[in-house]
Each structure stands twice: as structure tokens, then as C-alpha cells.
Amino acid sequence: MAKRKKPVTENKEEMNPNTHILGAGLVLRQNITETLETNYMPYAMSVILSRAIPEIDGFKPSHRKLLYTMYKMGLLNGARTKSANIVGQTMKLNPHGDAAIYDTMVRLSRGYEALLHPFVDSKGNFGKAYSRDMQWAAPRYTEAKLAPVCAELFADIDKDTVDFVPNYDNTTKEPTLLPVRFPSVLVNANTGIAVGMASSICSFNLAEVCNTAEALIKDPDADIFDTLKAPDFSGGGLLIYDRAAIESIYETGRGSFKVRAKYSFDKSNRCIDITEIPPTTTAEAVIDRIIEKFKSGSVREINDIRDETDKSGLKITIDLKKGTDPDKLMQKLYRMTPLEDSFSCNFNVLIAGVPRVLGVRELMDEWIAFRTESVRRRVWFDLNKAREKLHLLEGLQRILLDIDKAIKIIRGTREEAEVVPNLMIGFGIDEVQANYVAEIKLRHLNREYILKRTDEIEKLRKDIADMEDVLAHKSKIKKIIVGELREVADKYGQPRKTEIVFATDVAQDSEVETEPDYPVNIFFSKEGYFKKITPQALRTSGEQKFKEGDSLLIEKETMNSAELLFFTDKCQVYKAKASDFDLGKASQLGDFVASKLGMEDDETAIYMAVTKDYSGYMLFFFKNGKVAKVSLSSYETKTNRKKLIKAYSDKSEIAAIRQIDGDCELVIESTAGRLLLINTGVISAKTTKDTQGVAVMTLKKGHTVRLVRDYVNGEFVKPYRYKTKNLPAAGATLSAEDAGEQMSLI
């Protein structure tokens, strides 16, 4: 028998995970998944939990560490101190560079003007939120202290209302949250970008937020719109109120709304003064865009534009040419510049260490639960202190019965260590009470002093009973919270700065910016990529290029002025024009529609409809066999809205979407292999976009609608086999002769 040879390893590197490379030394091999888990994931979690996302008290860790340091420095009631001193002290809690800490303080300051209710009372140059180029002074030149509203952040923090943890080097302790007496998470704007997620919380009026919290405490089903009108920004402006958009933000914590600049017209100097701009832009960005439009010839009505911002506040002045209508010019500038901009909301908050996107009601409920626990812990702390004091005074009261006896016991005791035991025996009190009596000064061993102290006993007993009653009834804790909310609203509430104007009342620019109109071919892929190519370029181009795994979904010949409706997997539709997209080539991937139109993080376009006059219908085929026929005119809006919610029903998963100009014949196929041939004329049209539709195909358990396609004339030998007089119907399986016919067509 031949001796068996040892197997030869073709690749020795596979046997040895580590390799020696000349000049590089030992190279360690590691799986990419292991590298991500050990290196990247801890970093990502640290950014999410410890840096970018705010918690229910409304603060990120950097904010909380800075404000708590200032509180411990006595800057709530004391005089201002140098910012450099504050930054240095904060480094005991925040192990970051001084520049990062100072940046945080600047953004919380009154001078920067980014917050409705600033937490830092500043003195000196702290820059401006509305200016890109105005830099703040170095920390050695500026001074700061805590603003009065911070008293509501730290109230009773020393009464065990929140948990404390050791700082990074275990030399001191810091609070995990601040026991805020009002929902500060909604009062001041807060944004942050983490890894794989972000947070963007708009600010609301303090009085409105407190009133809303009070209403929800009294009635969890209260209508939020009765008390919380709309967001409010420190820079003012005009908020274009769209009830549907605001309702979406209140319900889901996601969405956007538009904010316009506020202006006035100076007739004597024939100039427009812009004094308030949207919070998402700066004065320099606005001026740069207007100059750009002037140079391109889009805006010709302007003689000059200049920044006249001074100590009194923001001011952009535009000098007009003779005969220019200021209102019409501003409508044009709203459309073409950041003087009108969208604020995108993403109410992502850390709740018990878990990032969650919450609507206003859910966010309020979480704050109420947090504040309820803080008040309960405060009452419990005060109750224990009162019980301890009562216990001591009850021991002192017994001394009142015979002061001479107490003195005699102390004088008659030879050893100091025996004084307390002898007092315990002599008066029947415990060690704590005896220690308290033994520590009383000789001058206080008189009847008057003891009577004054023991007068507190009845009051303490009443207070203890009241506190025990509060702890036993949650409704009384909520009553305390309501009282605090009213106090905060009365003390710090201020009128709205951002004016609300309804979308229907907003004047629209009658002059539509003229875009060149010409024939184009548009392409939309299954993965959500869009391409626009001229017919001439298409004739000379090669094969269409797509991302790996992607393929063409829709191809249309239309005009550059055509309107496009992109339906998404979140039951929303985004509106655009073909002219909004740049011309491309067949060899390019095209524009990713979700990014181009600013869709939500996990939202994707799944269908594109093309129209010029909103005639025809949209058909929505659901996996449960229902079909919704919606008039395309239902998606037409008078205002320039770019996004519509509830574009189709979310009651069942979507199987297919079709745009039809008139009634036609379609084939519906189920996962069971059954085919149903229908004419869309039998389905009645609805004007309600999110209608659930009508049942068209009956399905067996476990089966769904798989696909929908156009019926090709002559495709079936016996078309009536797949038709039915009544709907819904199950359809029929493909016959042998039709299967052969389809094979021949292929």
C-alpha cells in the first residue's frame, strides 16, 4: 500500500493569519466585521450616547457639564467671571479641548442669539448666530455667568432628584440629567449629527410649551394644537403655517416647514430693510445669493445691497431701481434665495440610553414621567429629613420634663464615653437623640430654648403627613408639577418672536422663473436613480448604465417643463420638475432622487409619475388584493408645496403603482400563479389620496399580489378565461396554450 502524502496547501497565507512582510514587519490579518465591532462600533455608540443626541432634559452631555460647572462655581447668583476660568473648570468634567468647551458656551449665550431662552448671561463679543463671518472673541476677553432661567434647571438638584455618577477620573461627581422644571427639550433649538443618525429639534415658545405640558397632565388626550401653535425662533421671521406639515411633525417627530424673512419698505430712501431671516441661513449667505442672481441677470431690480448690521441687530438693506414694486421683488427673492428656507425636524432624543424619534405628545409624556420621578424623589428626600429632625426634637422634648436631671446625669458621669449611654437610660431615648442632646451648648439648656425648638414638632408632623399623602397619590405630584409649570411660564414667558402666516394667505410670485423648454427622455430606476437626456444625446449614446443590481423601471418622453411626482415607500410623494434636474448621459448613474429632494433618512422613491396638466389617474395595487384608483388632480396644489403626506394608503403593503392617462387593461398576478385580466374602467376613482381602495383579487391564505403589467393584445389565446364579470375574483392559472403562446413571443 502506497504511503499517503501530506496535503499541499495552495495558499500558505490561509493557514497563517499573520504574515511577515519585508520592510513592514508583522502584518496581522483581521476580518472586516471584527474590525468594525471592536473599533468602529464603540466609537459610533460613544458619539450617539455621549456627544450628539440630547436627552429628555434637553441637553447634550457637553451642555450639561458646562452648566453644572458654572452652577458649582456659584455663577447663578454671583458676579460674572472670565470665560477662560469657566472653560478651565469645566475640563474637570469634560475631557475635551478648551476650544470645544468655549464653542459650547458661546452657543448657549445671550450674546450669540441662537436660543429663545439663553442659559449663559454673557458680556463681550460672543458673535451672532445670523452671521457667518462675525467671530467671537477669545475666552480671556469675555465674561459670563448663568442666566436667571437656570434656576429652573438646578432647582432641588441637591435633594436626590437625579442620579450622580463619577466624572472621567473619579475625582468628583456629576449629574446624569438636570431636574428641569419645564420641558426645555422643546424650548430651545438643538441639533446634532451622530453616526448613522442625527437630531434636529426646533424651538417652541416657553409659555406655549408649559401650557401644553399642563394640558397633557390634566388630559392625556388633549389637542396639542390648542396650546402649541407652531415653532418659535429667536431670530423671528415668518413661519408659513401648513396644518398638515405641522401635524406630521407633532405626530411623528419628522417633517419640515418653511420660514420667511421679515422686511419693511422705506419709501423715502426707496430701499427694503430685512431685519429677520430664517434660522437656517446667515446674512452673508443671503447677500451672496442675491449678488449671484443679480450677476446672472435673474434679478435686475436692485441698485445696491449692503449689510448694515450693528449693535441694534440684523439689517440687510436693498436699494431699488425706480419703478420697482418691493413686494413683487421680495416674492421673487423668497423663491430664489435663502430668504425663504425650510427647517427640517428630526426629534431624535435619548430615552433611557436609547435613541428614539418621538412626536411632541410622546416627548411630553416622557418629560412628564421624568419630572414626576424627580418630584417624587425630592418629596421623599424632604420626608426623610423631616423625619430625622422630628426624631431629634422628640428626644429634646423629653429633656424638657427634667432639665436638672439631664445636667445631673452629665455631671455625674466620670467618663465622656458614658454620657450618651447614661442619657439613653435616664430618659428612655435612643443613641441618635442622646447624641443630639449631649451636643447642645450649656447656654441652650434653658426652658425658653427648648420650648422654641419643640414648637416645631406639630408643624413637622403635619408636614410629614402631607408629604406621605403626596407620595401616596400620583395626582398630587402632578398638581405640584402643574404649579411649577405655571410659575415658570409667568416668570419667564415672553411673546412669540416668529409670526405665523397661513400658507393660503401668503402671496405667491406671479412671475414664474422661465426655464428653457425642450423635449427630453427621462429614466427612473428601481433603486431610485433619475436621468434626464436629450433625444439628440440619446441617439448617439450607448447602453444605459445602472448601479450593480439596479435596472430600469420607467422611461418616458416628455418636456423639460413637465412635473414629476416621486412616490416613496413611506406613503409620501415629493414633487419636482424635470427642469430641476441637470442633463445627463446614458453612461452616468444619474441623480439619487432621495438625496436630491431631501427625503428622510430611511426613505426611498419607488415610482415616478410624469404630468403636464394633472389629468389621468394613479393606480395603487396592494398586496392584499385591493386596488385604489386616485385622480391625479388630487395631487395638484395651489401653493408651491414640494411634499405631500398620506399620498396613498398605509393599511397594506404596496405591490405596484401605475400611472394611466385613460382606462386600459392590466394583468394582475398573485404569488399562487393566478392571473386576473381587468379593465381599469371597472374601478371607481376616488379623490381621497389615502383611500384603501376596493377588493379586486381574492387571495388564498399566505398569498399576495406579486406583480402588475400591461396586457399585450393577443397575449392570451382565450382572454375571457382570465376575465370575470364580478369583482373581486381569484383569476385563473396560465393555460397550456397560453404558456406556449408566451414562449413563442419570447
List active site positions: 141
Give the DSSP per-residue string, 549-582: T--EEEEEEEETT-EEEEEETTS-EEEEEGGGSP
Non-local CB neighbours of 602 within 8 Å, separated by 6+ positions: none
How far apart, in Å, do the first and last CA atoms of the chain sit? 60
What is the C-alpha to C-alpha distance for residues 170 and 624, in angstroms, rounded to an integer? Answer: 59
Which amino acid belongs to residue 143?
E
Q: Count how many residues are written for the chain.
A: 746
Alpha helix ranges (H) inside 262-358:
283-296, 326-336
Which residue do the cell numbers 476660568 mark?
A: 85
| β strands within 294-333, DSSP E | 302-307, 316-320
Non-local CB neighbours of 239 within 8 Å, separated by 6+ positions: 230, 231, 257, 258, 259, 260, 498, 499, 500, 501
Q: How many helices and strands (H and E) does the chain possess?
A: 22, 35
Do residues 484 and 178 touch, judged by C-beta distance below 8 A? no
What is the C-alpha to C-alpha distance for residues 186 and 203, in angstroms, rounded to an integer? Answer: 6
C-alpha to C-alpha distances, 103 to 185, 186, 280, 284, 457, nearest whole angstrom = 20, 22, 18, 21, 52
Do residues 690 and 651 touch, judged by C-beta distance below 8 A? no
Non-local CB neighbours of 585 within 8 Å, separated by 6+ positions: 533, 537, 541
Which is it for strands 254-260 and 605-611: parallel, antiparallel or unpaired? Answer: unpaired
Helix, coil or strand: residue 685: coil
Give the DSSP per-residue string, 724-740: -SSSSB--EEPPHHHHH
H helix or E strand, kind and range, residue 46: helix 41-47
What is the C-alpha to C-alpha distance for residues 430 and 421, in angstroms, rounded to an integer? Answer: 9
Do residues 464 and 387 touch, judged by C-beta distance below 8 A? yes
What is the C-alpha to C-alpha distance for residues 719 and 732, in angstroms, rounded to an integer? Answer: 11
Residue 96 CB neighbours (<10 A): 14
Non-local CB neighbours of 372 within 8 Å, separated by 6+ positions: 474, 477, 478, 481
Burial string for 172-205 (b: 16+ CB within 10 Å, else e) reads: eebbebbbbbbbbbbbbbbebebeebebbbbbbb
What are the strands of the beta sheet with 238-241, ordered from one edge? 190-193, 198-201, 340-346, 254-260, 238-241, 499-502
